[in-house]
């Protein structure tokens, strides 16, 4: 089974106003070339999605949201639905990021509803999972990540509408990256579990690593078995760093 085409996704989080968001997207498009390497994706804040859609027009760089509601429409003040994201040209949406799980109390059941909404709208859901440092220290990594995968991924998911991102909470924004062994172990666990949950074709579901990925460590991380790309936070805010991470992907 050949490795799936890697996906390098930039999660801009709550960063960027119009001018700098446009400049960043524009630089990425100019430097990205023909799109022959890994698939590139940027996930700006909601306020910039319309603008960044214009900056990315006719380029191979894809657009995604950072979250969506589990319903398609309705009385949910301040929320954004998956059809709204699709309407603006998004192809992906991140759901279950640990910052949403922590800041907004997103349970795995709610994450599954969000992922299902994304898939109904024709988007691919990037479902994030990952343990805290306390959970790792307590030897509970497999239980926590396995549980999140079991509960957060909707039935009927396929390689076309599901990406899983393993982001150890303690490695996010901390400059502290998981070791090659730690990443390999958890990605293998997720791959095995997807075999049961997604069934035939599960080898093609991309499993991204996220947590302090930067140009200096990208090559080592992206070469690990069952690592099919990266979900990049801080380093995705500098076009040169984001593109350097993409360039470190093994050739497909
Ligand atoms: P950092 O790359 O800033 O650690 O963030 C990772 C992340 O949370 C991406 O979703």
CATH of the domain at 23: 3.20.20.70
Structural domain for 165, as ranges? 7-247
Check if 167 is active-site.
Answer: yes
Instruction: Count CA atoms closer than 13 A to 62's CA, side-chain side.
Output: 19
For residue 1, tell me if it sits in a domain.
no
Looking at residue 232, its pLDDT comes to 98
Please give the distance, rounded to the nearest whole angstrom, from the Cα atom of residue 57 to the centre of ligand 1: 26
- CA end-to-end span of the chain: 12
Our CA angle for 62, 67, 68, nearest 5°, is: 105
Instruction: Identify any residues that bridge with 92 across adjacent strands, giving them in sequence order.
Output: 64, 124
Confidence band (pLDDT; 50, 70, 90) for 175?
Answer: confident
Measured CA to CA, the distance from residue 183 to residue 179 in angstroms comes to 6
Residue nearest to atom 7 of ligand 1 (CA): 233
Distance (Å, whole) CA 29 – CA 34: 9
User: In the predicted model, what is the mean pLDDT of residues 69-96?
Assistant: 98
234 CA to middle of ligand 1, Å? 6
pLDDT band at residue 252, thresholds of 50, 70 and 90? low
How do residues 103-115 score in pLDDT, each as one tens digit? Answer: 999 999 999 999 9
For residue 115, the model assigns a pLDDT of: 98
> Is pTM beyond 0.95 here?
yes
Q: What is the mean pLDDT of the chain?
A: 96
Q: Is residue 226 part of a domain?
A: yes
The binding-site residues of ligand 1, defined as CB within 6 angstroms of any ligand atom, are: 11, 97, 167, 172-173, 210-213, 231-235
pLDDT tier for residue 1 given thresholds of 50, 70 and 90: low
Give the pLDDT confidence score for residue 36 in this predicted structure: 81
The domain tally of the chain equals: 1
């Amino acid at each position: 089974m050949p490795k799936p085409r890697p996906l390098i996704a930039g999660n801009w989080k709550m960063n960027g106003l119009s001018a700098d968001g446009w400049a960043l997207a524009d630089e990425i498009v100019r430097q990205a070339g023909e799109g022959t390497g890994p698939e590139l994706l940027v996930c700006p804040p909601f306020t910039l999605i319309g603008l960044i859609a214009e900056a990315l027009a006719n380029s191979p760089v894809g657009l995604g949201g950072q979250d969506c509601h589990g319903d398609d429409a309705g009385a949910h003040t301040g929320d954004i639905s998956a059809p709204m994201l699709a309407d603006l040209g998004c192809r992906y949406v991140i759901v279950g990021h640990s910052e949403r799980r922590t800041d907004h109390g997103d349970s795995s059941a709610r994450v599954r509803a969000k992922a299902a909404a994304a898939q109904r709208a024709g988007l691919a859901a990037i479902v994030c999972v990952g343990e805290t440092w306390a959970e790792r220290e307590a030897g509970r990594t497999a239980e926590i990540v396995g549980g999140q995968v079991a509960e957060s991924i909707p039935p009927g998911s396929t390689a076309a509408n599901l990406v899983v991102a393993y982001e150890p909470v303690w490695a996010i924004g901390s400059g502290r990256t998981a070791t090659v062994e730690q990443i390999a172990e958890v990605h293998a666990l997720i791959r095995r579990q997807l075999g049961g949950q997604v069934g035939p074709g599960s080898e093609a579901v991309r499993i991204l690593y996220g947590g302090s990925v930067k140009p200096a460590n990208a090559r080592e991380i992206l070469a690990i078995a069952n690592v099919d790309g990266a979900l990049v936070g801080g380093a995705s805010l500098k076009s040169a760093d984001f593109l350097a991470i993409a360039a470190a992907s093994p050739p497909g």
